[in-house]
Structure 1
Amino acid sequence: MPPLPPSSTPPHGPPSRSRLVRIGWLVGLPVLLLVAAAAYSLGMSRVTARLERQASEIAAATGEGQPEPWLRVSVAGRDLTASGEAPDASQREAVIGRLAAIEGLRRLTDRTGVIEEVSPFVWSVERPAAGRIEAKGSRPAEVGAFELAQRLKPALPRDTTLSDRARAARGAPRDFPDAAAFAVERLQDLTTGAVATLNDTVISIRGEAASLAAYDALRTALATPPQGYTLGTVEITPPVVADFRFGVSRRPDGSLELDGHVASESAREEIRAIAAEAAEGAAIDDRLRDARGLPQGIDGPALARFVFKLAGLLHQGRVSFEGAAISVEGNALDTAAVAEAEALMRDARPAGTAVGGVALTARPIVPYVLRIRRGADSVTLSGHLPDQAAREALLARLNPRFFRESIQDRTRLADGAPAGFAAALAAAIDPLSTLATGELTIAGTDLRLTGTSLYPESAARLGRTLPRALPAGWSATVTIASDEAPAVTADSGGCGQRLAERTAGHPLRFAPGSTALAPEFYPVLDAVAALARACPGERIEVVGHLDPAGAKSEAPADPVADEAAKETAPKPVKANAKADPKKDAKTAKTGKGKAEPKEAAKPDSKSDSKPDSKSEPKPEKIEAERADAGADLARARALAVVDYLQKAGVPLERAAAPTGVAPLSERQGIGLSLRS
């Protein structure tokens, strides 16, 4: 092998210089890059710091004459973002110009605005998540964002931050921070998604309560909004509970206690309406709490109606719904009520419910209760009656006295009525019929009449007469109110006008052939008697009225009174008998007498020929006899009214039925006038 040339380098000899230079550059380049990056970062941080410093100075200067600086600037490298609301457009333009002139600025994003007057002034807070509350709308420019946030901080729910996205504006109502804090504090008791809004001075809240305790706290707090503010729309959904239940307890006095849960205020109103009907005038103790959680598939209104229907069969006891099951226990109204309750539980339960338990007893009815309640357009009967005959007799007595009202019979039949029950009932129905509204309650041998009378005189009279009319061993409590004060006047013209007012629209008409005062006469005559006592210089004159032509005697049967009195029908008063004032007055008061027109003489039935003109009464004579009979009947009626007025306190010499005065027609009714 030939030798290598002297200038040649062996393959594994030392590296060349150019190669070393290349290797040095490769090693030093990262170092240079790091140095360059450090220099750039250092320079950029200095630029950013300078931008932040100069921007902060400009922002701080906007606080002169303001609650706080209105300008807010954020820096990202050499970029600035400006936000806030300037007091006016000139200040906004000046500030943006100063920011744009900062040396080294690359880009300026302008999100500023100008404070404006807004109306209505609307601000709202929403709870989108458990740890955050967002404010939107308009906030007062006079307060400032930072100061408002500090005022709201104590009202924020625990571990919650406030994100203020509202814009400053003018036109906020007085004491806005207090109202805003009130609204924010309400969100503590609501779940996520709740919203509270201030629209000028109206506070509205919408959301779901976090718990039963929170729901109660909300209702208490909302009862007293901040001074100068009112509540608008409040839509707070009750919380959901796992043990949804509902119960009705009936007490011995007929009152009801409601407890458990109700899904909404509208449902509560519906339940109270059903309860009022079931209580039949007795008290209702509402202890229901708002909550949701009724098992799916169960109709709430149907459940409530069923529960109250069962409660209506109880004298004392409880009906409850719990765990999707219905239970009833206690003392039933009577033996039949036990079977009715069992049939209802078996065949008529609402869909989705189960039988929880039936534990009913039928004890003797003590006290024996009957209620008759007169409302504006109906008369409701409830409680017990001895038998079907007593029920029919009671309805026969009520129908003619309450012919304008509908009669709703909810009574049940059961033994145990006290002695004298029919007589006490007969004595109290007429007084009840004279009231505008009222209630008659019989409990054992205690009778209670309450209500409102059109006239105070009638109320006073009932308090005196009803206790005396009851059978031995019975007691009566009469509580009658009147909205009208007794008339007090001595002016003759005023007395006449007041008499016309008392009698207008209340004509007094006797039944055909009768001299008995009807119950509807009493309030009018009581008022007339009070007027006569208040006008000592006047005398009441009474004129009777005739029956319509061809009218027959109408003496309606009164089964209750007949059973109570056990008396036979009295004989009618003869029409051709002379009027006896004392006897007529007595007859009118008791209602046991009636006058009948004299019958015309009948022709001889044995004769087939025409009647002899000599023996047949002349038409003129017949008419005269009829006129005399009618006049006697009219006078007897006038005397009956006079007798009532005298017993109502009118002196004897100041109430009279004058003679020689023509009777009035049936259409006119009894005539009442004042004479000096």
Structure 2
Amino acid sequence: MSLPSPFPWIRTRFGWLAGLPALGLVGVATAYLAVPSIEDQIARAAAEVARGTGDGQPEPWLRVSVQGRDVVAAGEAPHAPDREAALGRLAGIQGARRLIDRTGLIEEASPFVWTVERPAIDRLESAGSRPAEIGAFELAQRLKPALPRAATLEDRTRAARGAPPDFPDAAAYAVERLGDLTTGSVATVNDTVISFRGEAASLAAYDAVRTALAHPPEGFSLGSVEILPPVVADLRLTVERRPDGSLELGGHVASPEAREAIRAAAAETADGGAVDDRMQDARGARLDGPTLAAHLLKIAALLHEGRVAYEQGRVSVSGKALDDGAVGEIEALLREGLPSGIEAGTIALTARPIVPYILRIRRGAEAVALSGHLPDRATREILLNRAQIRLFRESVQDRSRLAPGAPAGFAAAVATGLDALMTLASGEVTLTGTSLRLSGTSLYPEAAARLPRTLSAAMPAGWTATVSVSSGEPVVRLDPQECGRRLAERVAGHPLRFAPGSTALAADFYPVLDAVAALARDCPSERIEIVGHLDAPNAKPAEADPVAAEAARESAPKPKPASPRKDAKPAQGDKKDDKKGGKTEKVEAKPPQADKPDIAPSETGTDLARARALAVIDYLQKAGVPLDRASIAEGAVPLTERQGIGLALRS
């Protein structure tokens, strides 16, 4: 049995308080369920307002979002009334607490700049201006195929007028290039100029970017391109030598400057052969590429065919060396002189048999270069001396090697080919086995036409000669006054004086006479008249030193008498002195004979001066001056030893 409450009045007066918690729960539940409904209503109303701004536009310009009961408006209105109308409708949405206005008006952008950046591997962000004529959604759809795989584009641009034609093509081109670049890379479209800054993700990506940059969209050009090559942990550098003398460069190069230095060194090593540059730009550990490449190229120059490679810190060589001596030279280069920190690797070489025996001599504007093989030092010295006395400004670059196996008559064939080459403005003579080939450019058509005949006739027994010589550039015709002035410049300060009693040309004659022969080409209406000189009073002829005479014969050009053309007049001197037995004597100098000394003690006075003039005429004719364009001056008195040989032009 329950006991009666001692305070029945409390239950009667305060019993209603027991229902307050339940009432509170009902209120909270009602509020929780009611707020989302209000936010949804606000969002639906705001979206309706935004859709209404699409009339007459590519798509609605107004973008809205609801944050609680706050309405956030963004976008660029085409006109101020459109903007005010849209904001007014948003402000009137029932239940909205606050309107946050982030809208603007479409304006003219000049310059029109749009940028896209790759802040993360899976995200791109665009900023700046986008064309008002193209909606944000449509532009995003057009850029979507160009996005890197699994990456999204966050659009932070503002609509503006003034975009260049075909802007979407340029934007897609920029976005696609960022797919080959690492994070932090940026592309910018500034009117019609596209620029890039960043770092390639890999060697393949770097090559792809370089290829694509060569073909920007039509109507656009490239501006600043600052794309760094990728970082490579194991740098390589290779030089491959081909049998034709050409080189292939491979591996990695750190900068454009290093590439140019390596290519220049390779071109010198190739000595006229092709250089195939297949090096890839890359960054990595500190490595002096040009210095290392120079060492690799030294080794490659000793190969007929093969490969020199720097890989994993070592230099290795394989292939066929030029000869037995080259094998030892390569081994020495690997033992000594490698750059610091680089070790010698494997050597797999065989010596190439020297068959056929080859020598090349090339004459250019600045130098005469020798490459190939010579039988001994004596032949080399004679050949170099023979070339040097005929050169004025050009240097002689000797890259030849000594090795046995030269065919019979080799020395004589080399001397004959070199003499012919020295008459050309530029060219090359190549001896392969017992065949000689001469090619190049002559200053005179007459000399170019004469060389095939004279060179073949001068070859040693068993040798053949092939000539491919053109007559060079068209003749520049100068007036007589200018011709005379230029002749005076060429001979001024360079008197041509024969040794006492001698008719042999001295070494310092050749540059002057070559210049006179070149001038005659530009003065086709002028004849060159030569006056010999006498010896000084009481001058004693030099004693014929057998060694000196032999050296002079080796170094002096040996002209071959050319068959006179039917339409060419022989060069003549004083008609009174030339007539013997009613016949005219041809003024054609005789080449110095091996069995006769260069000293002519029997000739004195006028006869000696005349013989000297004939020696000069002979040289000019061999240098290409036509037979009827160089002669002894008629009736001229011989000059003194101090005056030297006289040269003049006559119309």
The alignment's TM-score, normalised by the length of structure 2, stands at 0.79
Quickly say closer, same or farther: Cα 1:500–1:94, change in 2 above 3 A: farther
Report the counterpart of residue 635 of structure 2 in structure 1. 660
Look up the match of 1:378. Answer: 367
Does the Cα contact within 8 Å between 2:72 and 2:100 map onto a contact in 1? yes
Partner letter of residue 215 of structure 1? Answer: Y
Task: Tell me if the contact between 1:453 and 1:481 (Cα under 8 Å) persists in the aligned partners.
Answer: yes
Pick which of 523-532 and 267-276 moved more: 523-532
Per-residue deviation, 1:305: 1.9
Asked if 2 retains the 8 angstrom alpha-carbon contact of 1:260 and 1:287, the reply is: yes
2 CA distance for matches of 1:124 and 1:353?
45
**What is the percent sequence identity of the aligned residues?**
54
CA contact (8 A) 1:372 1:381 kept: yes
Cα distance in 2 between the residues matched to 1:579 and 1:454:
31
Deviations 1:111-167 (CA, angstroms, capped at 9, x unpaired): 223333333322222222121111122222222322211211111122221111122
Query: What residue number does 1:512 align with?
Result: 497
Segments of 5+ residues of structure 2 without an aligned counterpart are 559-575
Structure 1: any 5+ residue segments left out of the alignment? 1-7, 533-537, 567-576, 600-624
Matched, 1:427 2:404: no
Q: Shift of residue 177 of structure 1?
A: 0.9
RMSD of equivalent CA atoms: 4.3
Distance 1:663 1:172 in 2: 86
Superposed CA deviations along residues 476-530 of structure 1, whole A, max 9, x for unmatched, are 343445551357x9xxxx8858977996865598842347694875686588579
Query: How big is the shift at 1:401?
Result: 1.9
1:312 aligns with 2:298: no
Using structure 1 for the length normalisation, give the TM-score.
Answer: 0.77
Q: SS of the counterpart of 1:248?
A: strand
Which is greater in Rg? 1
Q: Closer, same or farther in 2 for the Cα pair 1:159/1:359, shift >3 Å? A: closer
| Aligned equivalents of 1:82, 1:561: Cα separation in 2 | 101
Name the residue aligned to 1:201: 192
State the SS of the aligned residue for 1:357.
Answer: strand
> What amino acid maps onto 1:543 in structure 2?
E
Instruction: Indicate the SS of the match to 2:407.
Output: coil
The verdict on how the C-alpha distance between 1:336 and 1:26 changes in structure 2, with shifts beyond 3 A counting, is same
Cα shift at 1:461: 3.9
Are 1:221 and 2:212 matched, yes or no?
A: yes
Q: How does 1:502-651 map to 2 (within 5 A)?
A: 511-513=496-498, 514=503, 518=510, 521=513, 525=517, 528=520, 541-547=527-533, 559=551, 562=554, 582=585, 584-587=587-590, 628=606, 632=610, 636=614, 640=618
Q: Report what 1:4 is aligned to.
A: none
Q: Are the equivalent residues in 1 in contact too, given 2:480–2:523 (CA < 8 A)?
A: no
Confirm or deny: 8 A CA contact 1:201 1:228 kept in the other structure. yes
When residues 162 and 297 of structure 1 are mapped into structure 2, their CA distance, relative to the original with a 3 A threshold, is closer
Q: Give the Cα–Cα distance (whole angstroms) in 1 for the partners of residues 260 and 233 of structure 2.
A: 23
Task: Give the drift of 1:323.
Answer: 2.6
Contact 1:132 1:161 in 2 (8 A): yes
Distance change >3 Å, CA 264–CA 405, structure 1 → 2: same
Q: Aligned partners of 1:359 and 1:18: how far apart in 2?
A: 114
Given residue 404 of structure 2, which amino acid in structure 1 is its aligned partner? D
Counterpart residue number, 2:649: 672
CA shift digits 1:260-287 (9 cap, x unpaired): 3444444333322221111111222333
Gap change, CA 1:68 and 1:13, over 3 Å in 2? closer
Paired residues of 1:387 and 1:414 also in contact (CA < 8 A):
yes
Q: Secondary structure at the match of 1:484?
A: coil
Alignment equivalent of 2:312, drawn from 323, 337, 345: 323
The 5 A counterparts of 1:462-477 are 462-477=451-466
Separation (CA, whole Å) in 1 of partners of 2:110 and 2:601: 85
Query: Partner residue of 1:447?
Result: 436
In the alignment, is the contact (CA less than 8 A) between 2:128 and 2:158 conserved in 1? yes
Q: Which amino acid aligns with 1:545?
A: V
Q: After the TM superposition, which of the residue ranges 336-345 and 83-92 deviates more from structure 2?
A: 83-92
Counterpart in 2 of 1:570? none
Residue in structure 2 matching 1:139, options 130, 139, 149: 130
Aligned length: 611
Distance 2:385 2:620 in 1: 30
Q: Which residue of structure 1 lines up, in the alignment, with residue 28 of structure 2?
A: 33
Instruction: Using the TM superposition, name which of 147-156 and 435-444 deviates more.
Output: 435-444
2:17 corresponds to: 22
Comparing 98-107 and 130-139, the one that deviates more: 98-107
